[in-house]
Amino acid sequence: MASYRRQKKYNLLVLELDSLNRKAHLNLSKIYVQLGNIEMAFIEHQTLIELDSNNLFFKRVYAGLLLDYQIYAQAMLQYKKCLELNPHDIKSAKNLAFIYTKIDRDDLALDVLKKGLVSSPNSSVLHTEIAKVFYKQKDYENAIDAENQSMQLGGDSSLIKLKIIGISYFQLGQHEKAIEYLSYVDENSESNETMNYYIGACYIELGDLEKGELFIKKAINQGVSNNLDNFYTRLAIVYEKQENYKESINAYKLAYQYSKNKILLYHLARNYDVYYKDKTVAMKYYQKYLNENDTNNAPFINYSEYRLSEIKMKKHFDLDTIN
């Protein structure tokens, strides 16, 4: 801190002698950031822009500082001015598009990036940013195409890009291709829950339940995110397909514990219903599910009402049976 204060004092002395000294204003802006005086840093940047309104570098640095402190409206304004000065300014196009995605204006983000491609058609960076927007929009085919174009134009085949491609293939139901990409990412980075979950889910969809179970269990063991409910749900599905209802019930219970997702009550009811001769617990879960009024899943509601009525009727007849 003492060093920054000395530098501040020196640059202020320079400005006393020459108030138009751009280098001193720029140095002061950096020093104020380090000292935590962001307001003064902004003032220095504004002074620089007043001194040279056509200086792209000054505008871009100021925009970057505004972006760092999430002052999006002013950052957008500065990046737009940067692009007016230089339509080939890929960094400004990228950052402006990023801000638009943060405020959920993906349409404007794509517009900026596509305009950037008109000026810089061979920019692998712009194609990568377009892929990210498509991925956010769940437009997985276009996300894959954009990432492939980026790599064809010389962009690096980073693990993040390959991860986007792999998960996109999973979402499109192309599970073998998804495994190819995601396994490469998993093998060349620190193993993590997301990769193991998607790889496991792919194997499950391909019918290899044993491998699917292995990878889903890895994801659960590594699970530190908010996705444990998804992991346990997928594991429950594996056990259910294997007709291992005791384990599927345990997994569905854990999934419900983490998410409180009402549909899991239905799955618990069904598994209890299939596994146990005594339908008391199954009835409890059918009723709990019906109490949730899950209007988005009418078939499940209808079945639960039907099955609950059927069990009650059977219990009634059992009571009336003379042994």
The enclosing domain of 166 has a CATH number of 1.25.40.10
Q: Compare 245 and 5 and report the one with higher pLDDT.
A: 245
Mean pLDDT of 219-248: 92
Q: Among the listed ranges 189-193, 255-259, 286-290, which one has the minimum average pLDDT value?
A: 189-193
| Percentage of the chain lying above the pLDDT 70 cut | 95
Mean pLDDT of 20-42: 86
Please check the confidence at residue 321 and state whether its pLDDT lies above 50.
Answer: no
The count of other CB atoms within 10 Å of the CB of residue 190 is 7
Please check the confidence at residue 93 and state whether its pLDDT lies above 70.
Answer: yes
pLDDT of residue 317: 63
Is 218 inside a domain boundary?
Answer: no
Q: Are 161 and 150 in contact (CB under 8 A)?
A: yes
Instruction: Kindly list the distances between the CA atom of residue 63 and the CA atoms of 74, 80, 91, in Å, as whole numbers in the listed order.
Output: 8, 10, 11
Mean pLDDT of the chain: 91
Is 145 inside a domain boundary?
Answer: yes
pLDDT of residue 322: 46
pLDDT-based confidence at 21, cuts 50/70/90?
Answer: confident
Mean pLDDT of 119-129: 93
Q: How many domains does the chain have?
A: 1
pLDDT of residue 300: 95
Is 168 inside a domain boundary?
Answer: yes
- Distance between CA atoms of 68 and 45, rounded to whole angstroms? 14
Mean pLDDT of 15-40: 85
Instruction: Kindly list the distances between the CA atom of residue 134 and the CA atoms of 83, 172, 264, in Å, as whole numbers in the listed order.
Output: 23, 14, 31
Is 17 inside a domain boundary?
Answer: no
Is 161 inside a domain boundary?
Answer: yes
- Distance between CA atoms of 152 and 145, rounded to whole angstroms? 10
pLDDT of residue 28: 86
- Distance between CA atoms of 167 and 177, rounded to whole angstroms? 10
Rounded to the nearest 10 degrees, the angle between the axes of helix 56-68 and helix 72-85 is: 160
Q: Are 57 and 76 in contact (CB under 8 A)?
A: no
Instruction: Give residue 155's domain range.
Output: 122-189
- Distance between CA atoms of 78 and 74, rounded to whole angstroms? 6
pLDDT of residue 165: 96
Is 155 inside a domain boundary?
Answer: yes
pLDDT of residue 16: 80
pLDDT in tens, 99-123: 999 999 999 999 999 999 999 999 9
- Distance between CA atoms of 285 and 265, rounded to whole angstroms? 6
Please check the confidence at residue 275 and state whether its pLDDT lies above 90.
Answer: yes
Is 126 inside a domain boundary?
Answer: yes
Is 102 inside a domain boundary?
Answer: no
- Alpha helices by DSSP H, the chain: 2-17, 22-35, 38-51, 56-68, 72-85, 90-102, 106-119, 124-136, 140-152, 159-171, 175-187, 193-205, 209-222, 228-241, 245-259, 263-275, 280-291, 298-320
pLDDT-based confidence at 189, cuts 50/70/90?
Answer: confident
- Distance between CA atoms of 178 and 199, rounded to whole angstroms? 8
pLDDT-based confidence at 154, cuts 50/70/90?
Answer: confident
pLDDT-based confidence at 307, cuts 50/70/90?
Answer: very high
Please check the confidence at residue 267 and state whether its pLDDT lies above 90.
Answer: yes
What is the pTM for the complete model shown?
Answer: 0.82
313: Cα separation from own chain's centroid: 48
